Amino acid sequence: MTIAQITLHQPRRLVVGAGTIAEVGAWAADAQSILVIATPITAGFVDRLKLKGRVAVFDAIPGEPDIATLNAALETARQQKPDLIVGLGGGSVLDVAKLVAVLWNSEQTLADVAGPNRVAGRGTRLVQVATTAGTGSEAGIRSLITDPEKGNKIAVESPHMIADLAILDPELTYSVPPAVTAATGVDAMAHCVEAFTNRRAHPMIDGFARMGFRLVGKYLARAVKDGTDTEAREGMMLASYYGGICLGPVNTAAGHAIAYPLGTRLGLPHGLANAIIFPYVLAFNQTVAADKTAEVAQALGLGDTLTARELLSAARGFCRNLGIEMSLAAHGAKMDDLPLYASEAHSNRRLMDNNPIDMSVEDVLGIYKAAF
């Protein structure tokens, strides 16, 4: 079998450990004008960056950033004229920071750069400081922005969006509530697992995926139980980072495609939407990815030699034991809306075509109904 060639981009420098957020100021000691992109909550960490220079903070980033959010952040950047941009937050913040870094002083618009490899360049340094363990956005070169008119996500991908410095400081995740820790932790695992069982899976990325889902099996329950368990929090940040690496050259598959309408239509947070769907796609793909699925099941402590039904039940139990409400109805979904979700998810060929086995619209609808 010939193995496809692969290209991997990673941050130029990665710093991991408790208290490492303070390294940003020393690393960027020469920065004159700095724009920090944050949320109202993560803006509370700005002092810990130990920045010198003139600092502006843009903190109006909602859970799912849209085009208007990006435009507001670009406006702030054009006033600040930064020589350093710091993303300080979860995936939404880090995704906006990437786009602001390449667009604020460019002739290009979001429409110009949508898709792979269309960004002309970047002249502003970019630091990404993760404050959640989920998206792994700090590791990669992709950014997702919601288009409210079309109800879908615009994906921009470019090596020019890689961080010069990424920071994984577990202390920044201490205050993430248990429910968010659980859902985003399962999302991080889904990035690893969907890349691992992917039609475009690659041995090098498989290695990162294994490290990621094993860390989730070892540490997620501990991080949910005690938010200040530094070892568990650091393990989950690494799992998230490895998941982010998996997203680059291989990406996710049916699980994320099916979760998207739950975000764009139903308004569920990305991590929660993926946690609800994850067990169904794991079980659905088992027939064509038996060995790899067994590896995942073992790492999560779900058991050995499971039938698809047993695997589904055990994976749902894994999520429920973390405190995740797994019923779509309980999250306000309406049975009548499921066919629309199913057709939207099925038409997301960017991700669906990565799935190791084809899924029909009826298969997708069946998963929504089973999760209802």
For residue 134, the minimal CB distance to Fe ion (Å) is 7
Please provide residue 157's backbone torsions phi and psi, each rounded to the nearest 5 degrees: -140, 125
**In the complex, residue closest to Fe ion by CB:** 187
Burial class (CB in 10 A: 0-12, 13-18, 19+), 323: middle
How many residues lie near Fe ion (CB under 5 A)? 1
Nearest to 119 by CA among 82, 154, 161: 161
* Angstrom distance (rounded) from CA 246 to CA 206: 8
For residue 252, the minimal CB distance to Fe ion (Å) is 7
Beta carbon nearer to Fe ion, 66 or 310: 66
Distances (CA, A) of 101 to 107, 122, 303, 342: 13, 7, 45, 35
Which range, of 13-21, 160-168, 185-193, 227-235, touches Fe ion by CB under 5 A? 185-193
Beta carbon nearer to Fe ion, 187 or 234: 187
Which range, of 52-60, 97-105, 181-189, 312-320, touches Fe ion by CB under 5 A? 181-189
* Angstrom distance (rounded) from CA 121 to CA 326: 42
Beta carbon nearer to Fe ion, 64 or 187: 187
Beta carbon nearer to Fe ion, 23 or 187: 187
* Angstrom distance (rounded) from CA 272 to CA 36: 27
CB atoms within 10 A of CB 30: 10
Tell the residue number behind the tokens 């990621």, with chain if given: 212
Kindly provide the residue ranges of all beta strands, DSSP E only, lying in the chain, ordered along the sequence.
Answer: 13-16, 33-37, 54-58, 84-89, 115-116, 125-130, 142-147, 152-157, 165-168
Q: Are 235 and 218 in contact (CB under 8 A)?
A: yes
For residue 247, the minimal CB distance to Fe ion (Å) is 8
* Contact string (CB under 5 A) for Fe ion, positions 276-315, x = contact: ----------------------------------------
Q: Which of residues 45-64 bind Fe ion (CB under 5 A)?
A: none
- Order the strands of the 125-130 sheet from edge to edge: 13-16, 165-168, 125-130, 84-89, 33-37, 54-58
Beta carbon nearer to Fe ion, 103 or 246: 246
Q: List the structure tokens of 268.
A: 């569920």
For residue 187, state whether it binds Fe ion (rule: CB under 5 A). Answer: yes
* Contact string (CB under 5 A) for Fe ion, positions 226-265, x = contact: ----------------------------------------
Which range, of 52-60, 123-131, 166-174, 180-188, touches Fe ion by CB under 5 A? 180-188
* Contact string (CB under 5 A) for Fe ion, positions 197-216, x = contact: --------------------
Which range, of 68-76, 98-106, 183-191, 354-362, touches Fe ion by CB under 5 A? 183-191
Q: Indicate the DSSP class of residue 356.
A: S
For residue 142, the minimal CB distance to Fe ion (Å) is 11
Which range, of 60-68, 96-104, 169-177, 182-190, touches Fe ion by CB under 5 A? 182-190
For Fe ion, the binding residues (CB under 5 A) are: 187
